[in-house]
């Protein structure tokens, strides 16, 4: 088996295990570990074994943060997403929040830093959408 095939099966398995109990997930992880160990290429095999260890996270999603920085960033994101102002005001609000979230990610505990920073991807998409709607609406 090659890594790509293994990884596709692992992701399908993660989807099928949504809501499964820990015993079932653990048993499937053992089975997938055995499959990963059959991958010939050493680098791909190591990567596959790392991905098997992350199976519970693939199923449940990442754990939410607990730091004050995480909660502040989540609050900023929610404010911007729920903002009802004009497109220009919403873009300005999103840009300010994006800067603050980036600063919060730098001050956050290392385990949460990237989770916080990834919140900005939602803001970037929102800004792009608002700008494209403004262009379409202005024509």
pTM listed for this prediction: 0.56
Determine the pLDDT at residue 58.
78
The dihedral formed by the CA atoms of 53, 55, 61 and 65, expressed in degrees to the nearest 10: -20
Cβ neighbours for 127, distance < 8 A, ≥ 6 positions apart: 91, 94, 95, 98
Model pLDDT for residues 56-102, shown as the tens digit of each residue: 877 876 667 899 999 999 999 999 999 998 999 999 999 999 999 99
Instruction: Using the Cα atoms of residue 66, residue 70, residue 71 and residue 74 in order, give the sign of their dihedral.
Output: negative
């Amino acid at each position: 088996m090659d890594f790509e095939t293994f990884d596709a099966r692992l992701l399908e398995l993660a989807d099928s295990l949504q809501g499964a109990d820990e015993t079932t997930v653990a048993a499937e992880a053992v089975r997938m570990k055995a499959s990963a160990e059959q991958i010939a290429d050493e680098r791909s095999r190591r990567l596959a074994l790392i991905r098997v260890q992350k199976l519970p996270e693939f199923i449940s999603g990442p754990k939410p943060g607990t730091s004050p920085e995480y909660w502040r960033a989540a609050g900023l994101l929610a404010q911007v997403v729920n903002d009802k102002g004009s497109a220009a005001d919403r873009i300005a609000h999103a840009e300010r929040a994006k800067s603050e979230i980036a600063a919060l990610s730098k001050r956050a505990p290392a385990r949460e830093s990237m989770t916080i920073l990834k919140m900005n991807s939602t803001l970037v998409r929102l800004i792009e959408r608002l700008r494209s709607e403004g262009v379409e609406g202005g024509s």
